[in-house]
Structures are given as C-alpha cells and as structure tokens.
Amino acid sequence: MDISGQRSKNVTELLDVPFDYAITLCGDADERCPFFPGETGVIHVGFDDPPKLALVEEAEEEKMDCYRWVRDEIRALVEDLPGFLKNLPEEKRS
C-alpha cells in the first residue's frame, strides 16, 4: 500500500468527520490530545518509541529492527482492532 501521499493532519481538519474512537499510540499524543471533539471515544495504547529504542543499538540493521518491531506491534493491534475494542473495559472507553 503506497502511503507516500499521506500526511499528518491537525484535528481541526477532521471536525466534520464522525469517528467512534480516536486511538493515540505514543505518550506525547496521550499527553497533548487527552480528548477528541464531539462524541468520539479516546483510547490510548502505548507503544515503545522506536528512536529511543534505536539509541542503544550500534548497527544500522539493529536500529531498523527497533522500528520494525514497533511497526509489527501496531499492525497486530490494527488487525485485531474489533476484538481489542470488544474486550476493552467500559471505563477505558472515555
């Protein structure tokens, strides 16, 4: 899937789009985006920060493995998103 034309968007660009959930993946987003406008539930799922993981690695391939590992963790979450949301305690669906 080619996502080269994609870009990060400011939440104000999405105000007219109805979402059931907004899912934040990094600590910075969890701190800076504690809510989402409208009736959207906000769920935080923390993942390791690949650049921080890569700092302790010396070889370029090992650094890339840090990014791949987090990528694969995010992929697993997305692939199981319906099950993840189904099993999420009600109090986590803010």
Mean pLDDT of the chain: 85
- Asked whether the predicted pLDDT for residue 29 surpasses 70, the reply is no
Which backbone phi and psi does 66 adopt, to 5 degrees? -65, -45
13-22, 45-54, 57-66, 85-94: the lowest-pLDDT one = 85-94
Fold for the domain defined by 19-92: Rossmann fold (3.40.50)
- Asked whether the predicted pLDDT for residue 54 surpasses 90, the reply is yes
- Asked whether the predicted pLDDT for residue 30 surpasses 70, the reply is no
For the whole prediction, is pTM greater than 0.75?
no
- Which token pair is 12? 């104000």
- Asked whether the predicted pLDDT for residue 60 surpasses 80, the reply is yes
Q: Tell me the sheet residues that pair with 41.
A: 21
- Asked whether the predicted pLDDT for residue 12 surpasses 90, the reply is no
Domain assignments of the chain as residue spans, ordered by start: 19-92
Distance, in Å, from the CA atom of 91 to the CA atom of 27, rounded to the nearest integer, reads 19
